[in-house]
Structure 1
Amino acid sequence: MKRFFILVILLLNIVPIAYASERGLFWKLKAPNGSTHYLFGTMHTDDNRIIKFLPIVKKSVNASDLLLVEIAPNDHSQNLFMQNHSLVTDLNEIELQQIKKLAEFHVMHFENAIRMKPWLLAIIFDSPKPHTEFNQDYLLTAMAEDLDKEVIGLESSQEHFATMDSLSNDEQLIILRAVLKKTEKEKLSDYNLLMKQYVSGDVEQIRKTDERLTGKLMPEAMWAKIKVKLMGERNKKMAIKIKELSKDKQLFIAVGASHLAGQDGLLNQLRDSGFKMSPIKAFE
């Protein structure tokens, strides 16, 4: 189950043209007080192209006091499932058969799948089948723990899930049904596009593409209601916590790559707060 949780939602706001040239996934940050920190934009996958880190990544983790991730490990299990409810009462027989087939494909128990929150199940089913749980986030967390570094979350599980959990059950089912209608070819095409953009280091394009793909899963008015909360408001809270912790700790920050991008992204917010930054190559 842990592998499914680590799939982070990359749901995004519009990126102003002025920031369209921003590139880079791994950044060295120099805080106004002179301390050094690192910011890594991740993609939550075990794709072999992006999990073989260069030695500089481990060296940077070792030089830090804390690994900051979006949500701390083991702070989530109680937030994955619906309380006293099942999708059996919401879906027809054809849809339930699709759920069963996709649950098997993603190595999930059907009994767990039908109790999972519809929006979260949609995220899992819209993602490639994980071959291992050794995605970037897992590897960075394991690296930090091996180096005896503390790992803490920028958000609690309640904060992390709050926006999507605020959707009604019917609204969440709209997202799930949209994913059920997608073919595996369409899902693979979407994934390959995002991977191409990630490998190029183009976080702005990742963010814009995520918004376009996510927006297709729900009515326009529904997407407009939640997109600012999903990125802009969360980015602001993350930046505040990063700036506060950076006063007396050396940080290695690992968050979804789209959180770096845009006017409201972490790169721009930290730059406006006086942080100096330079990109570093993270993997071959």
Structure 2
Amino acid sequence: MKTLDFGQTVITLAALLLAANTAPQAPAPAPAAPAPVATVPADPALWVVKDKDTTIYLFGTVHALKPNLSWFDSAVRKAFDASGQLVLEIPLPTPEQAQKVIGPLAMDPTGPTLTQKLPEKSRAAYAAALAKLGVPAAALDRFEPWFAAVTMSQISLQKAGYSAADGAEMALDAAAKAAGKPVTGLETLEQQLGYFHDLPQADQIAFLLESVKDLDKFDTTINAMVDKWKAGDAEGLSKLMNEDLTGQKNLYKVLLVDRNARWADWIDSRMKTPGTVFIAVGAGHLAGKDSVQAQLAKHRIVATRIRY
């Protein structure tokens, strides 16, 4: 279940339409005040691309985190503070904006249900996965397979104690707005969701069934990913995030390779304008043979790792 990195908004807002399509539940009692949690140091990877009058920082994020990580300091904070602009995968939408866009791309109101689209031999495992997550059996039947996959990831993240509210994008966006820095995106929300929506049904179903298969090891996997991220182990993190996608060639190309190439094109163009920019994208895009840095090399642009 490696959807953690491939969609800044998909992961963080996947539960919106699910909530609208399940029966309301009685409000839970107010939780007790949490005990103070010790801060955990984190030093995630950071790169820089520069020429005589332009500097672009490349920072790999994790879209959902636990609240006790002190990553936004040291070299990361220095680079951010020196930048006049923040660039994310997409500008963060409000839940209302996201829901308006997600609906037409995530729902399939006619035709076979999602369960019926799955191979008969896989339906029991899918139903069991939903039950384990506490999702009613028919709750996702009118959604596309890709949306079911990322919804399962969203719920699993929450159960493991991770929150998009504590993710890197939220912190960076808030800091940029507080400092009066403009925030822009490499993609639009419609584009990002469209990559998933436009996948062939066979690829979407393979994506969903991979999520079902990985459900029992989700906690172990996400914790290992965050440990690699905290340590700045970009290559180790890339292997964990992208290992399943390499077996799904079309998914890997659409969600990783093609986007990295377009982002490298954007950086190449931006290098012609003076200034300092802080770019933050999912960490899986900044490691491996098809990384943004590898795509930049095709433009004869070198990204240098900042050691700190």
Same fold (TM over 0.5): yes
Query: Which amino acid is the alignment partner of residue 274 of structure 1?
Result: I
Give SS of 1:254's match.
Answer: strand
The answer to whether the 8 A contact 2:48-2:304 is kept is: yes
Where does residue 191 of structure 1 map in the other structure?
Answer: 222
**Residue 266 in structure 1 maps to residue 298 in structure 2:** no
- Over 3 Å counting, the alpha-carbon distance change for 1:67 and 1:87 in structure 2 is farther
- 2-side partners of 1:57 and 1:121: how far apart? 34
Query: Which amino acid is the alignment partner of residue 77 of structure 1?
Result: Q
Where does residue 12 of structure 1 map in the other structure?
Answer: none
Where does residue 72 of structure 1 map in the other structure?
Answer: 91
Deviation at 1:118, TM superposition (A): 2.4
- Over 3 Å counting, the alpha-carbon distance change for 1:258 and 1:68 in structure 2 is same
Where does residue 250 of structure 1 map in the other structure?
Answer: 276
Query: Which amino acid is the alignment partner of residue 211 of structure 1?
Result: N
- 2-side partners of 1:3 and 1:159: how far apart? 12
Query: Which amino acid is the alignment partner of residue 257 of structure 1?
Result: A
**Residue 163 in structure 1 maps to residue 195 in structure 2:** yes
Deviation at 1:140, TM superposition (A): 0.8
Query: Which amino acid is the alignment partner of residue 198 of structure 1?
Result: W
- 1-side partners of 2:111 and 2:64: how far apart? 27
Q: Runs of at least 4 residues of structure 1 off by over 6 A? A: 109-112
- 2-side partners of 1:121 and 1:242: how far apart? 33
Deviation at 1:71, TM superposition (A): 1.4
- 2-side partners of 1:110 and 1:147: how far apart? 46
Query: Which amino acid is the alignment partner of residue 253 of structure 2?
Result: V
- 2-side partners of 1:86 and 1:151: how far apart? 38
1:128 paired residue among 145, 153, 157: 157
Where does residue 234 of structure 2 map in the other structure?
Answer: 203
**Residue 29 in structure 1 maps to residue 49 in structure 2:** yes
* CA RMSD, 1 decimal: 3.5
**1:135-164 CA distance string (max 9 Å, x none):** 111111111111111111101223323332
- Over 3 Å counting, the alpha-carbon distance change for 1:238 and 1:103 in structure 2 is farther
- Over 3 Å counting, the alpha-carbon distance change for 1:128 and 1:280 in structure 2 is same
Give SS of 1:155's match.
Answer: coil
The answer to whether the 8 A contact 2:61-2:168 is kept is: yes
Number of residue pairs matched by the alignment: 254
Structure showing greater Rg? 2
Give SS of 1:194's match.
Answer: helix
Q: Choose 91-100 or 120-129, whichever is displaced more.
A: 91-100
**1:183-233 CA distance string (max 9 Å, x none):** 44x111221222232223222222222232346xxxx5xx12231222221
- 2-side partners of 1:51 and 1:190: how far apart? 21
- Over 3 Å counting, the alpha-carbon distance change for 1:112 and 1:154 in structure 2 is farther
Deviation at 1:4, TM superposition (A): 6.2
- 1-side partners of 2:193 and 2:8: how far apart? 16
The answer to whether the 8 A contact 1:80-1:120 is kept is: no
Deviation at 1:258, TM superposition (A): 1.6
- Over 3 Å counting, the alpha-carbon distance change for 1:80 and 1:111 in structure 2 is farther
**Residue 227 in structure 1 maps to residue 252 in structure 2:** yes
Deviation at 1:175, TM superposition (A): 2.9
- 2-side partners of 1:258 and 1:182: how far apart? 18
- Over 3 Å counting, the alpha-carbon distance change for 1:134 and 1:87 in structure 2 is farther
- 1-side partners of 2:12 and 2:163: how far apart? 13
Q: Choose 122-131 or 253-262, whichever is displaced more.
A: 122-131
1:138 paired residue among 170, 176, 180: 170
Query: Which amino acid is the alignment partner of residue 80 of structure 2?
Result: V
The answer to whether the 8 A contact 2:45-2:234 is kept is: yes
- 2-side partners of 1:114 and 1:47: how far apart? 31
The answer to whether the 8 A contact 2:63-2:164 is kept is: no
Unpaired stretches in structure 2, ≥5 consecutive residues: 1-6, 14-42, 117-122
**Residue 61 in structure 1 maps to residue 66 in structure 2:** no
| Identity rate, percent | 24
TM-score, length basis structure 2: 0.68
- Over 3 Å counting, the alpha-carbon distance change for 1:182 and 1:258 in structure 2 is closer
Give SS of 2:180's match.
Answer: coil
- Over 3 Å counting, the alpha-carbon distance change for 1:131 and 1:260 in structure 2 is closer
Deviation at 1:122, TM superposition (A): 1.1
- 2-side partners of 1:171 and 1:164: how far apart? 10
Give SS of 1:71's match.
Answer: coil
- Over 3 Å counting, the alpha-carbon distance change for 1:4 and 1:259 in structure 2 is closer
Higher relative contact order (CA 8 A, sep 6+): 1
- Over 3 Å counting, the alpha-carbon distance change for 1:6 and 1:250 in structure 2 is farther
